[in-house]
Structure 1
Amino acid sequence: MTALEALQRSVLFKDFTETGLRIFAEIAQQKALPAGTPLFVENMVGESLFIVKAGTVRVTQRTAEGERELAVLGAGEHLGEVALLGKGVRLVSAVAATPCEVLEIAHRDFFRKAAEKPAACLKLALAIAADLAAKVAENRELLRGLPGRKPTG
């Protein structure tokens, strides 16, 4: 499967034309990972969005009780999308559960491409925002139970 075909299968890119898909296929790095290989580890600086081309990726988080599995992602699914828009600390770990092929779009390449193709990059940023809003809505009840931040001052 080509990078273009993998992007076509991803929900983040569902509204992109073939021209738009080609813009991101140009900067996507294809990687093959043996089972057990980390894509990223909790608390490391995030710098890339990943799209699963083949295989499965296990997403976990450390808790006081040990490691907790949050999700198992397969072909067409994505992770690490917030890191594409702004570098930050990873809140979870992601490890290839099976032999995997992924596309990686790095933060630096995305912002270089934004200078050339701002409309395409804005469209992807809006797709990421919509995806995150949907995830927040799906997890509304869980989020209500989280302790809030105390105001400073």
Structure 2
Amino acid sequence: MDKLWYLKRCDIFHGLSKPDLDKVGAIAHERTIPKKEIIYAPEDKNEVMFILKKGRVRIFKLSSEGKMMTLVILKDGDIFGSMSLIKGGVSKSYAETLDDSYICAIRQEDFHNLIKDMPGIALGLVEKINQRLKEAEDRIEDLVFRDVPGRIASVLLKLAEQFGKDNSAGTQISFKITHQELADMVGTTRETATVILNELKEDKILKIEDKYITVMDEKALKEWAGKE
């Protein structure tokens, strides 16, 4: 896969000239990581920022009881591990591949040298971190102010926006989602997620086939999420 083509899709490198992209490409080391592998864990001293070229990566936390809470699912072009670029920054979460994934890794020292020549990249990184903070605030709002059905509806709307592909039935999320995975995204049990998904299917708001979820009635789903 063309490394520079994927780097151009990353927000913080958007708009760079070909010579500048070549400089980024020279310090971005490509890796292939198999499905279900942990890339980093809390307290890892990992002085590397990652760019997801292709695949899916889940960022999650574990409670003291071992309960998982999925924070975000990343798509092609997303960056993660950016706390490693801040001196003394340590990750408080896990990063795990959900598919066989292709990533670029940039060491902290190389990135710091890069932004001396291209300070606009630092601004792009700050904007990306601010975006993640806004998304975290939205998740907190969901957990505090929405009930479980509302949280499930909100997450499905977000996934359809990020990963959706339109078809004759509606907007299909482009990867399979198990009931347990959805439960982990909203902080509930698999059994509760199953009950709510079945109700959404019965109301013809969702279509679920072979773990692929299609949003058939976006307006009704927004009403469930309290966004209408």
Question: Contact 2:83–2:90 at 8 Å: present in 1 too?
Answer: no
Deviation digits for residues 73-130 of structure 1, max 9, x if unmatched?
A: 121111112312434211111011110100001102223x34xx7231x222211112
Structure 1 length-normalised TM: 0.80
Q: For 2:52 and 2:108, how far apart are their aligned partners in 1?
A: 17
User: Structure 2 matches for 1:53-72, cutoff 5 A?
Assistant: 53-65=53-65, 66-72=67-73
Residue segments in structure 1 that go unaligned for 5+ positions in a row:
146-153
User: Structure 2 matches for 1:66-145, cutoff 5 A?
Assistant: 66-111=67-112, 113-114=113-114, 118-120=116-118, 122-140=119-137, 142=140
1:139 Cα deviation from its structure 2 partner: 4.0
1:8 Cα deviation from its structure 2 partner: 0.6
CA RMSD of aligned residues (A): 2.1
Q: Could you tell which deviates more after superposition, 80-89 or 51-60? A: 80-89
Higher share of residues assigned strand: 1
Percent identical:
22
1:59 Cα deviation from its structure 2 partner: 0.9
Structure 2 length-normalised TM: 0.56
Q: For 2:59 and 2:96, how far apart are their aligned partners in 1?
A: 7
Question: Contact 1:32–1:102 at 8 Å: present in 2 too?
Answer: yes
Q: For 1:87 and 1:101, how far apart are their aligned partners in 2?
A: 27
Q: For 1:76 and 1:32, how far apart are their aligned partners in 2?
A: 15
Secondary structure of 1:5 counterpart? helix
Structure 1 equivalent of residue 2 of structure 2: 2
Secondary structure of 1:71 counterpart? strand
User: What amino acid is the match of 1:57?
Assistant: V
Secondary structure of 2:99 counterpart? coil
Question: Contact 2:50–2:106 at 8 Å: present in 1 too?
Answer: yes
Larger radius of gyration: 2
Q: Could you tell which deviates more after superposition, 11-20 or 93-102? A: 11-20
- Return the structure number with greater relative CO, CA threshold 8 A, min gap 6: 1
User: What amino acid is the match of 1:44?
Assistant: D
